[in-house]
Protein backbone atom coordinates (compact mmCIF):
# COMPACT_ATOMS: atom_id res chain seq x y z
CA UNK A 1 0.00 0.00 0.00
CA UNK A 2 2.95 2.32 0.61
CA UNK A 3 4.07 1.98 -3.00
CA UNK A 4 0.53 2.64 -4.26
CA UNK A 5 0.21 5.76 -2.11
CA UNK A 6 3.64 7.00 -3.21
CA UNK A 7 2.88 6.50 -6.92
CA UNK A 8 -0.49 8.26 -6.71
CA UNK A 9 0.77 11.11 -4.53
CA UNK A 10 3.76 11.80 -6.76
CA UNK A 11 1.55 11.78 -9.83
CA UNK A 12 -0.93 14.11 -8.07
CA UNK A 13 1.89 16.68 -7.81
CA UNK A 14 2.41 16.67 -11.59
CA UNK A 15 1.44 20.03 -13.08
CA UNK A 16 0.58 21.57 -9.71
CA UNK A 17 2.06 24.77 -8.30
CA UNK A 18 3.19 23.30 -5.00
CA UNK A 19 3.61 26.78 -3.54
CA UNK A 20 -0.18 27.17 -3.80
CA UNK A 21 -1.64 23.69 -3.22
CA UNK A 22 -0.37 20.31 -2.02
CA UNK A 23 -1.99 16.89 -2.43
CA UNK A 24 -3.05 15.29 0.85
CA UNK A 25 -4.11 11.64 0.95
CA UNK A 26 -7.66 11.21 2.25
CA UNK A 27 -8.48 7.63 1.24
CA UNK A 28 -6.66 4.48 0.16
CA UNK A 29 -7.89 0.96 -0.33
CA UNK A 30 -6.48 -2.02 -2.07
CA UNK A 31 -6.41 -5.74 -2.60
CA UNK A 32 -3.25 -7.80 -2.42
CA UNK A 33 -3.73 -10.54 -4.99
CA UNK A 34 -0.30 -12.19 -5.03
CA UNK A 35 3.14 -11.89 -3.46
CA UNK A 36 6.52 -11.51 -5.15
CA UNK A 37 9.49 -13.41 -3.79
CA UNK A 38 12.07 -12.11 -6.24
CA UNK A 39 12.51 -9.83 -9.21
CA UNK A 40 11.24 -6.29 -9.66
CA UNK A 41 7.86 -4.71 -9.15
CA UNK A 42 6.21 -1.98 -11.19
CA UNK A 43 3.58 0.54 -10.01
CA UNK A 44 1.40 2.28 -12.58
CA UNK A 45 -0.94 5.06 -11.45
CA UNK A 46 -3.71 6.20 -13.77
CA UNK A 47 -6.23 8.97 -13.18
CA UNK A 48 -9.86 7.98 -12.67
CA UNK A 49 -11.04 11.54 -12.08
CA UNK A 50 -9.41 14.91 -11.47
CA UNK A 51 -11.08 18.13 -10.35
CA UNK A 52 -9.79 21.34 -8.83
CA UNK A 53 -10.03 19.84 -5.32
CA UNK A 54 -9.66 16.05 -5.72
CA UNK A 55 -7.76 13.51 -7.77
CA UNK A 56 -8.56 9.78 -7.76
CA UNK A 57 -6.05 7.20 -9.04
CA UNK A 58 -6.15 3.50 -9.76
CA UNK A 59 -2.75 2.00 -9.02
CA UNK A 60 -1.80 -1.36 -10.48
CA UNK A 61 1.26 -3.01 -8.98
CA UNK A 62 2.66 -5.95 -10.88
CA UNK A 63 5.67 -8.27 -11.03
CA UNK A 64 7.78 -6.77 -13.81
CA UNK A 65 9.25 -10.01 -15.14
CA UNK A 66 6.06 -12.12 -15.18
CA UNK A 67 3.46 -9.36 -15.54
CA UNK A 68 1.36 -10.95 -12.77
CA UNK A 69 -0.73 -8.48 -10.75
CA UNK A 70 0.34 -8.11 -7.11
CA UNK A 71 -1.90 -5.33 -5.80
CA UNK A 72 -4.79 -3.26 -7.11
CA UNK A 73 -5.39 -0.01 -5.22
CA UNK A 74 -7.40 3.20 -5.38
CA UNK A 75 -6.02 6.40 -3.86
CA UNK A 76 -7.81 9.72 -3.38
CA UNK A 77 -5.89 12.95 -2.75
CA UNK A 78 -7.34 16.32 -1.77
CA UNK A 79 -5.63 19.47 -3.04
CA UNK A 80 -5.11 21.54 0.09
CA UNK A 81 -4.56 25.26 -0.40
CA UNK A 82 -1.48 26.70 1.27
CA UNK A 83 -1.97 30.04 2.92
CA UNK A 84 0.94 32.33 3.71
CA UNK A 85 1.38 33.16 7.36
CA UNK A 86 -0.53 36.22 8.35
CA UNK A 87 0.79 38.75 10.79
CA UNK A 88 -1.13 38.93 14.03
CA UNK A 89 -3.45 41.96 14.20
CA UNK A 90 -2.45 42.38 17.85
CA UNK A 91 0.66 44.47 18.38
CA UNK A 92 3.36 43.05 20.65
CA UNK A 93 2.78 43.90 24.29
CA UNK A 94 -0.96 44.49 23.80
CA UNK A 95 -3.87 42.20 24.57
CA UNK A 96 -7.02 41.66 22.54
CA UNK A 97 -9.17 43.05 25.40
CA UNK A 98 -7.43 46.44 25.34
The ranges assigned to domains in the chain are 2-81
Q: What is the mean pLDDT of each run of 10 residues along the chain (98 residues)?
A: 93 92 95 94 96 96 96 97 67 56
User: What was the pLDDT predicted at 95?
Assistant: 54
Question: 89 to each of 10, 45, 92, 94, 96, how far by Cα in Å?
Answer: 37, 45, 9, 10, 9
User: What was the pLDDT predicted at 42?
Assistant: 96
Question: 63 to each of 26, 29, 41, 55, how far by Cα in Å?
Answer: 27, 20, 5, 26
| CATH architecture, domain defined by 2-81 | Roll (3.10)
Amino acid sequence: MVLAESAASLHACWGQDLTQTVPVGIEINGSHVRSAGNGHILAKASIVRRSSKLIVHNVDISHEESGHPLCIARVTNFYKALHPRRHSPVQPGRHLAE
